[in-house]
Amino acid sequence: MPRVSLTKRFIDQLEIPEDIQVFHDTKVTGLHLRVSPRGSKTFYLYFRTKSGKQKRPRLGSYGILTVEQARDSARAMLGELSKGNDPTDRHQVKNITLADFFKIFEKNHINKHVKSSTAKTYRSLFASVIEPTLGKQILEDITRSHVEEMVYQNDNRRTTANHALVLLRLILDKAQQWEFMSSKRNPCSNVTKFKTLAKERFLTDNEITRLVDTLDQFEGACLAHKNAITVIRLLMMTGCRKNEITRLRWDELFLDEGVLKLKDSKTGKKEVVLSDDAIKILSASPINDSDYIFPGKDGISPIQGLQKIWQRIRRAAGLQDVRIHDLRHTFASVAVSNGAPLYEVGRLLGHASIQSTQRYAHLERSRLKDSLNKFSKKLK
């Protein structure tokens, strides 16, 4: 039986065989794909239990499971096998608690498929919101009422509760996919999120002027914060997310083309068009020994502590309610108000879909109305 690295491309190119074919994965021991003369492609896992009994459970059909999902399922089952359990014996895994399963979820999903910043958020959410209420609950016994209790206990931090609900739904989806729970409806289904007020904040022209003046004052008074102030200026000029500038690398800067070519933004690869002023600022950035354009105090890792400096700057500018992320909203609002079409603004912001940019549609309508009013006056 051939051993191959199972990939989407490899599986998609397989032709329907005259007899059953089996392809063993080179990355996960025991994982294999069975292709039938009817054209079905199914993932299985072969292993021996502690007693020496051979098992070959069906993991799922290709198309419903991706290759990576099949590998995750196989790794989770092999993890149980290494503990002396038979992963196909429902009686042995039915008593696993949510806290215990989170360790499996962390090893087979978070550590392999999630960015480090998101992983940190997942661990924090689980420890602070999910585990105190549901950590000791047996997976199979978790009900919608348990989930609602977790959510409503956090009424005083509604956004956090909503994020925890999304994470819990993902965790329980994986528990079902990896057969640690029965395939009944996810208990998070139809649990209503809290309604939260929109936090978008756009700076007015006057507020922008005050902020720029304050940045000039801080830059002249404290050279130690020069990198942080430069980062804030670039956030205003580019509409980038905070981490896209604080973690900006030299090999992502293309001054001759006037762009940043980000390799790992929130929505994947992203090209950021730079204004002349932004190019001037980046051209003046001193060469350093770091991979990052704006290194931290150690001179190697990316700059840290931007939030503390921002709090001082916004207080001095009289903008206590303005978040760093609001600079991104301000960039978009200024662009739309000055005639940039929504699709162009979405491209500048790196939105994955136009729906994310629709929040600025009212600004475009306002600009169009002003233009129509000016035109109407000429007709009188």
34 strand-pairing partners: 22, 42
Q: Quickly list DSSP for 320-370.
A: TT--TTHHHHHHHHHHHHTT--HHHHHHHHT-SSGGGGGGGHHHHHHHHHH
Domain match, 16 and 58 both: yes
pLDDT-wise least confident of 41-50, 67-76, 205-214, 267-276: 267-276
Q: Is residue 369 assigned to a domain?
A: yes
Regarding predicted confidence, which is higher, 195 or 165? 165
Domain boundary among 92, 119, 136: 92
pLDDT at 303 over 70: yes
Which domain range does residue 117 map to? 94-177
- Mean pLDDT value across residues 308-331: 91
Domain match, 220 and 149 both: no
Domain match, 221 and 364 both: yes
* Other beta carbons within 10 Å of 279: 16
Domain boundary among 126, 157, 177: 177
Domain match, 217 and 364 both: yes
Give me the helix-helix angle, 158-177 and 98-105, nearest 10°: 80
Domain match, 98 and 88 both: no
**Predicted pLDDT at 375:** 45
pLDDT tens digits along 28-40: 999 999 999 988 8
pLDDT at 374 over 60: no
Domain match, 73 and 116 both: no
- Residue 151, domain CATH: 1.10.150.130
Domain match, 145 and 42 both: no
* Other beta carbons within 10 Å of 359: 14
Domain match, 309 and 293 both: yes
- Mean pLDDT value across residues 174-178: 85
The total of structural domains in the chain comes to 3
Domain boundary among 75, 92, 109: 92
Question: What's the whole-model pTM score?
Answer: 0.53
Q: Is residue 241 assigned to a domain?
A: yes
Domain match, 231 and 372 both: yes
Domain match, 117 and 82 both: no
Q: What is the mean pLDDT of the chain?
A: 86
